[in-house]
């Protein structure tokens, strides 16, 4: 007999992705943060005891990339019908894969996350070299989740907190992602007239 899982609030449950993915997606890993792909098997209703209701960005059967850190890595693990699952807040879901083919067009950034293209004065970089000065990097908005409330448009140069950016490699091209809370500003052309030389 199989069990039914009813989640509350903005919680989601995932199992490991078993199908073969077409293309290459290299996720950042460290001993403090784990990034994985999972297939969503259940989602909460987004409703809180206060009556407030939040939009759910993921749905059952979606394949998502998610990030767990610190004690959350182990504390999110449960078993349902002897199968390991992870349960966590939907805010930890970073992106959704629309199909099993990994391309930029098939990756959708979720929630309050943003995906940034990184460039230097010499053009787009693949792997940042350690000797390059951080101020030489430029970050441009490639995608943003539906929950992003910042006044920024695709293609605009933004100023993220660099230490809060995580690299992600999509078919050999490196991007970074970060939460909207770590975008410090946006660079726009000045609307003031240029000063006239005497």
Predicted confidence (pLDDT) per residue in 6-25, tens digit = 999 999 999 988 777 787 77
So what's the pLDDT on residue 195? 66
Q: CATH 2.30.33: does it fit domain 113-188?
A: yes
In this structure, the chain runs to a length of: 198
Distance (Å, whole) CA 99 – CA 93? 16
Three-state helix/strand/coil letters over 21-44: CECCEECCCCCCEEEEEEEEEEEC
Beta-bridge partner residues of 128: none
Q: Examine the pLDDT at 132 and tell me if it is beyond 60.
A: no
Name the CATH code of domain 1-111 (choices 2.40.110.10, 2.30.33.40, 3.40.50.300, 3.40.50.410).
2.30.33.40
pLDDT at 121: 63
Domain residue ranges in the chain: 1-111, 113-188
Once rounded to an integer, what is the mean pLDDT over residues 102-114? 92
Whole-number pLDDT of residue 194: 64
Q: What does the pLDDT read at residue 131?
A: 43
- Cα–Cα distance, 173 to 192 (Å, whole number): 37
Q: Are 26 and 175 in contact (CB under 8 A)?
A: no
Q: Quick one: which of 178, 147, 150 has its CA closest to 54?
A: 147
The predicted model scores a pTM of: 0.81
């Amino acid at each position: 007999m199989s069990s039914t899982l009813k989640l509350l609030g903005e919680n989601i449950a995932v199992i490991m992705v078993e199908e073969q993915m077409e293309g290459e997606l290299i996720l950042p890993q460290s001993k403090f943060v784990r990034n994985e792909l999972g297939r969503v098997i259940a989602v909460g209703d987004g409703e809180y005891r206060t009556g407030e209701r939040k939009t759910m960005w993921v749905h059952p059967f979606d394949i998502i990339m998610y990030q767990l850190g610190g004690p959350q890595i182990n504390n999110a693990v449960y078993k349902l019908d002897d199968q390991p699952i992870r349960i966590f807040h939907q805010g930890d879901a970073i992106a959704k894969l629309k199909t099993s083919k990994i391309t930029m067009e098939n990756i959708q950034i979720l929630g309050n996350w943003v995906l940034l293209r990184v460039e230097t004065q010499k053009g787009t970089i693949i792997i940042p070299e350690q000797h390059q000065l951080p101020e030489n990097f430029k970050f441009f908005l490639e995608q943003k989740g539906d929950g992003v409330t910042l006044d920024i448009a695709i293609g605009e140069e933004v100023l993220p907190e660099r230490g809060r950016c995580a690299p992600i490699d999509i078919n050999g091209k490196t991007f970074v992602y970060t939460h909207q809370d770590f975008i410090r500003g946006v660079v726009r052309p000045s609307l003031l007239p240029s000063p006239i030389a005497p």
